[in-house]
Structure 1
């Protein structure tokens, strides 16, 4: 006769093989999160120069502190704050190439938004509603920030901070000791580590006010544990190769005119583009839900929402952080508008539930970077985004004599740094490295303005031009075949060299 433990084990296996509808919602949400980065080709902007820097760190064992890649700023100091993420990217590429980087990107995002979904369920005990809000509201708000770069590698760290602090607020666990560990990773990966301080500070203020309202004595409302672990988290920011200089780097970056004026990510959202429209719609829906909810929102939730809304209104790149802090608030308030969950609510047909999960698993398999190039159309199955100058760079490298001072589109500079490190670049997405005057000259030259003077100023002897972005300059060069020779052209890119550069 089988033992009780054996019977319980069989029962657990049967339960796993008979998934409920709640489990389908949970698994579907996580799988759909992973599917988006799997199906998104890697854009050429930030990715490649981060990869190249990681390669330098991997090969040399040191973190470069000056520019190694351009001829216009060669040897100039450059604060490389995201070195740990760059090293990780280079290691992943060395082990498994681009497919492994894409898979890890999917896992990183699934972890980050999986933690966020867990918070929604923790706050509401509603799996289906939490999954629906995440998929229909939060993810569209955040997609624009899902490119492969160090920023996405810290999403799980931000979500980790939010999880630890939420559990602390709910009195469930005391895992504040995790905050310094998460910060030690964060400060070596991305400048957004300062947002960790914002989370701690806002939670401290919100909880102090709440306890003061309950107890009426301010001195007794301050929790020393949060103060102690907050101070330890602040000290953890010094655990980086440049110690306290990292704070100066963030300050200088935020005050850099070329960053704030020239980078679209740093401009305020506008309803005139799709991402801005989604942002404003999300804010309106969240406000309406709070207005009509049957209970007042938690003060700390409101403070978090207000602070990160202010950041998002100032710069598009901050919208993703608003999504993290606003989603639990939206879920909590929306839950008050629904009837209480029934313990006997419909859980679907187990066979159909299992079939749905299996179908999603097949979609993930088809979307994997090892399989999708062979099964999907080129525009969907490609690992690299349109505009990556792979063939143009190969043609440039094949020239018996290469131009020494190449002018090119900014995103091309990033790819050249990786694929042709011997070809020093004019400019690239390291916006803060290049002075504002050089960015102005870059824009003017691409628009075909002051061409003769600018070509002479930088002694340009070759050009790799984006047909879409730099058509006026291309027309200028093609109108002067006695000065410029076209050595490569495709639907997106044209490479030209001066006549004194040999064939």
Structure 2
């Protein structure tokens, strides 16, 4: 007996240590994910709206950023987050927004653990549920209003689970304040508060009718909480107009193919990594678990009756979790209700061990995807924390050029660049599209045509003729060999960031002169390209970006140590993107020797052969590429190779675009 007692104490101590380690690791991962450089394509138009609200002391009601219809109606019902985020950034810089994210998201998961522990009365079970929620929510760790939704939902759920308190006025005031703040930060998701209190009220009423019991004071309290919640929600001055506008544009937002609006079961389209498999099937597995629990409750009539408020709420949450991947985390809460009951009924031996093993596995899946798969390891992840903005996510050099040179016009732009271009160059420049995708049917046609390299030139001319768009901003190669259609000229290029100018627009000559002034050059001959003076300065800025400098430094340090030629290919590719073709050539030639079947290396060599008029190098590269799969190249790059192949010397095998 004494030996058994000792073994049990040792097992309990080991479980406690295991739980503590998992808690610490979970907090570290939450903070690490939240602290990553800003990468969300929405954040900068949110900040620009915050600046406008600060300046004008009003909430905008038109799409003032649009180059096509700045007077059209647009209701943004996330105004409070935009205002607070702008005030934070304007006073303390972009880094402060990342710090805010770390604090808020860490607090969210601490609150989540407290809520689950209060519900389950078990540390291991609460910890498992928190890590389960982390996997379903970590993609939402973005600097945008909906990053706060889980914290608000957790607070509202905690209110709904509490019995009627003695000091009811204080409780109702707390509910009102939470719902009011949530509504003004993200009115779209704040309706979940009404869903939670509504489920409690409706479920309590159903239970009263089914059981034919006397009126229960708890039911009156539930309806009072719901009424208080609704009053808090509609305190947002644009709650109704915002929702009406959202319903109008929702189909178009779904049509963009943004994965966060896709059903969770489609997430395996992103790959068969365990993370995507979990994301795809977790809500469905939870639905089956909850259904099994519900059926068991119905059969066990001698036990406690069904809690209809909980049932109504959980069914609604599971429907939302399946409807869009952005809602997947909601599946955690039905699991928090049903799992403790199922565990107690099944009498699983070594339940704590099973839960801790499962939690550890989920944490490993999260780490394997977010740290190893996305970043390439813990050290690169930590190194990336030195950047405020995710490298390559935003056109930083192009935005600086537009602002510093004072370029004016209407930009036909890459969709994901819209927000940053608004932040860096509005109001002197307006954009065709940003990630709100507020487009009418003719604009949608132009948008899709412009993002298709086969029809891009026609789309650019159509946009110029129909709406007066006179600038093009896109990730290159926008056009093959930076040669735009007639009527356009290249004005700026920094790595892949390209800007083209409509040659006969009202702002054309003014923008040329301002670009030359920015480059510290003078135009000696009107026949000379302005880009020839601007691009060297832009290339130096792009190469001087800390991320590109670090890549070059790291690659230089490993030359000769990597038999695959990756270091040489990295250096050659960066230099080629900057237009330094002569400097890039020896690195890429060496890379082709070490890795003779790398399609990216041969693509760069073909481009270098064309730009430097080295026909031997061009013919050799095209011959090699004719026997390699080109699926890793961008569509425009394949078009370039097909065009080069058609002009190549006799005997060179043709290259197909597809």
- Normalising by structure 2, what TM-score? 0.60
> Structure 1 residues 340 and 301 mapped into 2: Cα distance closer, same or farther (>3 Å)?
farther
- In structure 1, how many angstroms separate the alpha carbons of the residues matched to 2:338 and 2:93? 39
- Which of structures 1 and 2 has the larger relative contact order (alpha carbons within 8 angstroms, sep 6+)? 1
1:391 aligns with 2:397: yes
- In structure 2, how many angstroms separate the alpha carbons of the residues matched to 1:25 and 1:129? 12
Give the superposition deviation at 1:22. Answer: 5.0
Secondary structure of the corresponding residue to residue 485 of structure 1: strand
> Structure 1 residues 172 and 99 mapped into 2: Cα distance closer, same or farther (>3 Å)?
farther
Q: Can you list the C-alpha shifts for 1:329-376, whole angstroms capped at 9, x where unaligned?
A: 355246435669999x9xxxxxxxxxxxxxxxxxxxxxxxxxxxx996
Give the superposition deviation at 1:222. Answer: 6.3
Partner of 1:495 in structure 2?
Answer: 499
- In structure 2, how many angstroms separate the alpha carbons of the residues matched to 1:67 and 1:113? 36
1:478 aligns with 2:475: no
1:326 aligns with 2:331: no
Give the superposition deviation at 1:113. Answer: 2.5
Partner of 1:261 in structure 2?
Answer: 255
- In structure 2, how many angstroms separate the alpha carbons of the residues matched to 1:377 and 1:237? 40
Secondary structure of the corresponding residue to residue 188 of structure 1: helix
CA contact (8 A) 1:168 1:176 kept: no
After alignment, is 330-339 or 154-163 more displaced?
330-339
1:462 aligns with 2:468: no
CA contact (8 A) 2:284 2:322 kept: no
1:414 pairs with 419, 437, 449, which one?
419
Partner of 1:278 in structure 2?
Answer: 278
1:140 aligns with 2:140: no
1:437 aligns with 2:431: no
Q: Can you list the C-alpha shifts for 1:443-474, whole angstroms capped at 9, x where unaligned?
A: 2112142433334223332211024xxx5x53
CA contact (8 A) 1:485 1:497 kept: yes
Q: Can you list the C-alpha shifts for 1:298-343, whole angstroms capped at 9, x where unaligned?
A: 54444323212222333333223344x3352355246435669999
Q: Can you list the C-alpha shifts for 1:270-300, whole angstroms capped at 9, x where unaligned?
A: 1323576333321244245447769648544
Give the superposition deviation at 1:86. Answer: 0.6
CA contact (8 A) 2:418 2:431 kept: yes
- In structure 2, how many angstroms separate the alpha carbons of the residues matched to 1:197 and 1:166? 14
Give the superposition deviation at 1:248. Answer: 3.8
- In structure 2, how many angstroms separate the alpha carbons of the residues matched to 1:48 and 1:441? 24
Give the superposition deviation at 1:266. Answer: 2.7
5 Å matches for 1:205-224?
Answer: 205-212=202-209, 215-217=211-213, 219-220=215-216, 223-224=219-220
Secondary structure of the corresponding residue to residue 272 of structure 1: helix
- How many pairs align? 442
> Structure 1 residues 482 and 86 mapped into 2: Cα distance closer, same or farther (>3 Å)?
closer
1:188 aligns with 2:184: yes
Secondary structure of the corresponding residue to residue 158 of structure 1: helix
- In structure 2, how many angstroms separate the alpha carbons of the residues matched to 1:291 and 1:266? 25
5 Å matches for 1:15-94?
Answer: 25-38=22-35, 40-94=36-90
> Structure 1 residues 476 and 72 mapped into 2: Cα distance closer, same or farther (>3 Å)?
farther
- In structure 1, how many angstroms separate the alpha carbons of the residues matched to 2:196 and 2:33? 28
CA contact (8 A) 1:44 1:411 kept: no
CA RMSD of aligned residues (A): 3.4
CA contact (8 A) 1:466 1:493 kept: yes
Secondary structure of the corresponding residue to residue 236 of structure 2: coil
CA contact (8 A) 1:208 1:221 kept: no
- In structure 1, how many angstroms separate the alpha carbons of the residues matched to 2:27 and 2:205? 35
Partner of 2:197 in structure 1?
Answer: 200
CA contact (8 A) 1:289 1:333 kept: no
> Structure 1 residues 412 and 441 mapped into 2: Cα distance closer, same or farther (>3 Å)?
same
Secondary structure of the corresponding residue to residue 429 of structure 2: coil
> Structure 1 residues 81 and 478 mapped into 2: Cα distance closer, same or farther (>3 Å)?
same
Partner of 2:562 in structure 1?
Answer: none
- In structure 1, how many angstroms separate the alpha carbons of the residues matched to 2:95 and 2:347? 43
Partner of 1:154 in structure 2?
Answer: 149
- Normalising by structure 1, what TM-score? 0.77
- In structure 2, how many angstroms separate the alpha carbons of the residues matched to 1:120 and 1:338? 20
Q: Can you list the C-alpha shifts for 1:145-189, whole angstroms capped at 9, x where unaligned?
A: 2211111133321111111112239x8996354222111111211
5 Å matches for 1:300-319?
Answer: 300-319=309-328
CA contact (8 A) 1:404 1:461 kept: yes
Give the superposition deviation at 1:37. Answer: 0.6
Give the superposition deviation at 1:194. Answer: 1.4
- In structure 1, how many angstroms separate the alpha carbons of the residues matched to 2:421 and 2:338? 44
CA contact (8 A) 2:63 2:74 kept: yes
- In structure 2, how many angstroms separate the alpha carbons of the residues matched to 1:434 and 1:309? 32
- In structure 2, how many angstroms separate the alpha carbons of the residues matched to 1:340 and 1:163? 30
Give the superposition deviation at 1:58. Answer: 2.0
Give the superposition deviation at 1:88. Answer: 0.9
- In structure 2, how many angstroms separate the alpha carbons of the residues matched to 1:437 and 1:338? 62
- In structure 2, how many angstroms separate the alpha carbons of the residues matched to 1:482 and 1:342? 72
> Structure 1 residues 193 and 404 mapped into 2: Cα distance closer, same or farther (>3 Å)?
same
Give the superposition deviation at 1:249. Answer: 2.3
- In structure 1, how many angstroms separate the alpha carbons of the residues matched to 2:43 and 2:323? 25
CA contact (8 A) 2:156 2:193 kept: yes
- In structure 2, how many angstroms separate the alpha carbons of the residues matched to 1:91 and 1:52? 11
> Structure 1 residues 212 and 445 mapped into 2: Cα distance closer, same or farther (>3 Å)?
same
